[in-house]
Amino acid sequence: MASVHLSGRVVAPNPALGGLRVAPSLAVPRARRASGLVVRAATVVSPKYTSVKPLGDRVLVKVNSSEAKTEGGILLPVSVQSRPTGGEVVAVGEGRSIGSNSIEISVPVGAQVVYSKYAGTELKFNDADHLILKEDDIIGILDSDDVKDLKPLNDRILIKVAEAEEQTAGGLLLTQANKEKPSIGTVIAVGPGPLNEDGSRKALSIAPGSDVMYSKYAGSEFKGEDGEYIVLRASDVMAVLP
């Protein structure tokens, strides 16, 4: 059960009004999403509640709008609109405790963030889509429209993916569908590192500019203005290529 504090005028529940309706969500893991089927349903918060206050290390994000049209101007039905993975932080919890230390949420209210695609619980609140999720599910802060400017959080790393080979060793040209997805790229930015038990940060050993090899099915992929990028945890990097 998600840790959410709802405040407002207390009234007797009325089944006819619906009140607070919680529908379960089912996320199909990335590596096994052969059919591409993902079923999600939002928690609808009744208008009688005037605020939603996250607890602990949770963050409330107002979700950016989905794309309603293709680049050619064709209207998309709701069922096929891409689910946004970014939004604005509108409220944060009080943080969490590590040992005897209290650690505040590092993401400020008002920040534009990118988060894991299938993380959190969706809320319909104040006529807008929101998501409540743990701070660790936030990939990074993005103040522009280009993913290359992403500032990774915690132990995450932003990598620009190497371009796929255009032809085989024998000289046969490959179509886009037949190009093998590379698992090598260049590190663009790194997070401040994970938290130690005393609340300090342990710096990552991987530096920007390094060429690395990473797990093939790890991370979250993004398309930037100058190519493809992936954000993953430092533990998903298998080797540095000198």
pLDDT-derived band at 101, boundaries 50, 70, 90: confident
pLDDT above 80 (res 75): no
How far is residue 117's CA from residue 119's CA, in Å, rounded to a whole number?
A: 6
Of 132, 158, 136, 135, the C-alpha closest to 146 is: 158
CATH 2.30.33.40 domain extents, the chain:
51-65+82-142, 152-241
pLDDT-derived band at 57, boundaries 50, 70, 90: very high
**Residue 180 confidence (pLDDT):** 55
pLDDT above 50 (res 183): yes
Express as a percent the part of the chain with pLDDT over 90.
40
**Residue 29 confidence (pLDDT):** 39
> In Å, how far from its chain's centre is CA 239?
25
Average pLDDT over residues 92-119: 89
87's tokens? 């939004």
pTM for the model:
0.69
pLDDT tens digits, 111-165: 999 998 788 999 888 888 899 999 999 999 999 888 899 999 999 999 999 886 5
Domain topology for 152-241: 10 Kd Chaperonin, Protein Cpn10; Chain O (2.30.33)
Contacts of 162 (CB under 8 A, 6+ apart): 182, 184, 185, 186
Of 162, 230, 160, 239, the C-alpha closest to 205 is: 239
Yes or no: is domain 51-65+82-142 CATH 2.60.40.1180?
no
